Amino acid sequence: MFNMTYAIIGVLIGLVVEPVGRSMNHGVAAAPLWASNPLIKLLTTIAVFGFFIFSATFGFKYAIYAFIEVIVGVFISFTMARKAS
């Protein structure tokens, strides 16, 4: 149960990372309005690094899994954004 919750948290972090990155790279008009908020950018950065550090405390294998989970979340968010426009 812990592993599935852990994986869902990684994917959810990835879902937030993609719009924040899109707003930083392509401007406010390219992403949702909440993604350009400086506080959201800071919280997202803290969440990503915290998740990676927490994962790495269990071993290198789990750090790789965390990276893959965040990448999957980014890919899902990117795909959903492309289908919406």
pLDDT value of position 58: 92
In angstroms, rounded to a whole number, what is the distance separating the alpha carbons of residues 80 and 61? 29
pLDDT value of position 1: 55
Closest CA to 18 of 81, 77, 82: 77
- Report pLDDT digits (tens) over 26-83: 777 778 888 888 898 999 999 999 999 999 999 999 999 999 999 999 999 999 888 8
pTM of the full predicted structure?
Answer: 0.86
Of 47 and 21, the one with more pLDDT: 47
The domain segmentation of the chain, as residue ranges, is: 2-84
pLDDT value of position 28: 76
Using an 8 Å Cβ cutoff, are 13 and 47 in contact?
A: yes
For tokens 């997202």, the residue is: 44
pLDDT value of position 22: 83
Environment class of residue 35 by beta-carbon count within 10 Å: exposed (0-12), middle (13-18) or buried (19+)?
Answer: buried
Using an 8 Å Cβ cutoff, are 30 and 22 in contact?
A: yes
